[in-house]
Chain A
C-alpha cells in the first residue's frame, strides 16, 4: 500500500477561499484536502470542480469530497426528498470525478425515534436503497463512495453508529467493494463508546477515509487531536482528514506554528 495522505476538511466557518486553504494545508506539511459540497456551494467565490482539480495539482494535494448532509436525508420516507437526496449525492460524485477526487464521504440517513415502527422500517429500507443507487453511480464514475459511522443522536435513529449497523448497510449492496467503502470517524466512534479498532477489525482495507478529531466522550465536539499518529499507524485508510472547527485547530493537531489564513467571508456576512 502507498503511504497514506494526511489532510484537513474545509469548513464553511473558516471563511477562507479554496486556494488559501490549500496553501495553509500544505504549509502545515499536509497533502490532502476534503471539501464538503454544501460548504463549497455556500462560499461566494467557489471555483468549479475543474478549477479545484487544477489547484490540487498546483499545490500537490489529493482530494476527497463530502456529500451533502444538511436539508438532506436519503432515508426519507418522502420519496421526493429521497430522490432529491440521491441526486445531490450523484452531483457530488460528478464533481469529485471532475476534480480528480477518488472518494466521496456520505452519511446514511436518519429517522426520528418517535415515529412509528413501520415508518422507521421504511426509512431504513429507503436509506439502503438510496445507498445502492449512489454506489452504482459511483461505480460508473470510478469513484469510491465511503459510508461514514455517525454519532448517536438522541432525537434521530441513524443507521451507521456501530460496526454491525454500518456493515448491514453496505454488505448486501451489489457493487464491487472498491466502489462502496467506509469512512471511519474516530471521534464519532469515541463519543458512541466504540473502540475504533472494532471498525478496523470489521472493515479492514475497506476503510478508505479516516476522519480525525477528538472529544471528551460527552458530545461530538470536533476538538484538536494531537494524538492522531497512533490512528494513522493502526487504521489502513488511504487518507486521514482532520475535521476541525477552525483552521487553527488543524495546526494545533499537527503541532505546527503556521498562521491561519484570514477569513474572506466573516461569520456575520
Chain B
C-alpha cells in the first residue's frame, strides 16, 4: 500500500508528540497581553487557546495593534512550549519509531509555530523529515493555517510529489488534506477516540503502528 503514496506528511501535536498542556499556552497568552499593558481574564485567554484563534477583538478593545500583538504572542507561546519540553513536557509517542520501517519521504506540517516545530525536531530523537512547516508568527501566517492547505502544498512542492498521505488528529487536518488534493489518515489516539468526523478520512487508524502495517501491507493485485 505504501506504493500508493510518494510521501507521508504528518501533523505534529497529537500525532508525533503529545499535545501541549493548555495551561502552558494560556499562561503565554496572559503574559503576552500583560506585555501590552492588558490584564486579560484567564477564562478568556483559555477560549482563544482552545479555539486557536487570533484574539483580534480583545486587541481592538484595548487599542492594541493585532499584528504586533500576534507576533509577540507567537514568540511567547513558542518559548513557553520550548521550556515545557525541556522540563519533560510534550514527549514523543512511542509508536513514532515504527515510521522508520517505511522507506518513503516524510514531512511535517503543523498549526504550531514554526519555531516550535524546529525546536521539537532538533530536541527529540525523531525520524528524519525532509520538510517541516509550522505557522509563521504573522497574521498572514495564521490565516494560512489548517484547514487551509497552503503549508501542505508547500511541503508537497518541497518534496517534489503530488500523491501523498496527510496524517492528522483533527477535522481541520482532513479538510486541509482534501483541499491540497491528497488522501488523509485520521489518527484516532486516546484524546480524539470518540470524536465524530464530518469529513471522511481515507484511513482511520488508532496508532502509527497500525498505520505502518496498513501502508506496508501488500495489496491483492501485488500478490498475484
Contact = CB atoms under 8 A, between A and B. Distances in A.
Interface of A: 94, 128, 132, 136, 139-140, 142, 171-174, 176
A94 B60 CA distance: 31
B109 to A, nearest CB: 17
B46 interface: no
Contact of B57 (A139, A142, A172, A176): A172
B154 interface: no
A135 to B, nearest CB: 10
Contact of B53 (A94, A128, A171, A174): A174
A183 to B, nearest CB: 22
Given A142-B175, A174-B55, 11 more contacts: A128-B57, A132-B53, A136-B51, A136-B53, A140-B171, A140-B199, A171-B56, A172-B59, A173-B56, A173-B57, A176-B148
Nearest to A177: B143
B172 A174 contact: no
Contacts of A172: 56-57, 59-60
Which 5 residue pairs across A and B have the least CB separation, nearest first?
Answer: A172-B56, A172-B57, A174-B53, A174-B54, A176-B143
Interface in B137-184: 142-143, 147-148, 171-172, 175, 179
A120 B224 CA distance: 71
Interface of B: 51, 53-57, 59-60, 142-143, 147-148, 171-172, 175, 179, 198-199
A91 to B, nearest CB: 12
A47 B172 CA distance: 30
A174 B56 contact: yes
A85 B85 CA distance: 41
A174 B142 contact: yes
Nearest to A139: B147
Contacts of B53: 132, 136, 174
A132 B142 CA distance: 16
A136 B50 CA distance: 13
B54 to A, nearest CB: 4
Contacts of A174: 53-56, 142
B56 A140 contact: no
23 contacts: A94-B198, A128-B57, A132-B53, A136-B51, A136-B53, A140-B147, A140-B171, A140-B172, A140-B198, A140-B199, A142-B175, A142-B179, A171-B56, A171-B60, A172-B56, A172-B57, A172-B59, A173-B56, A174-B53, A174-B54, A174-B55, A174-B142, A176-B143
Contacts of B148: 176
B182 to A, nearest CB: 16
Contacts of B147: 139-140
Contacts of A94: 198
Nearest to B52: A174
A172 B143 CA distance: 13
A174 B198 CA distance: 22
A190 B125 CA distance: 65
A199 to B, nearest CB: 21
Contacts of A171: 56, 60
Contacts of A140: 147, 171-172, 175, 198-199
Contacts of A132: 53
Contacts of B143: 176
A1 B59 CA distance: 34
A73 B81 CA distance: 40
A75 B175 CA distance: 29
A172 B51 CA distance: 15
A139 B146 CA distance: 10
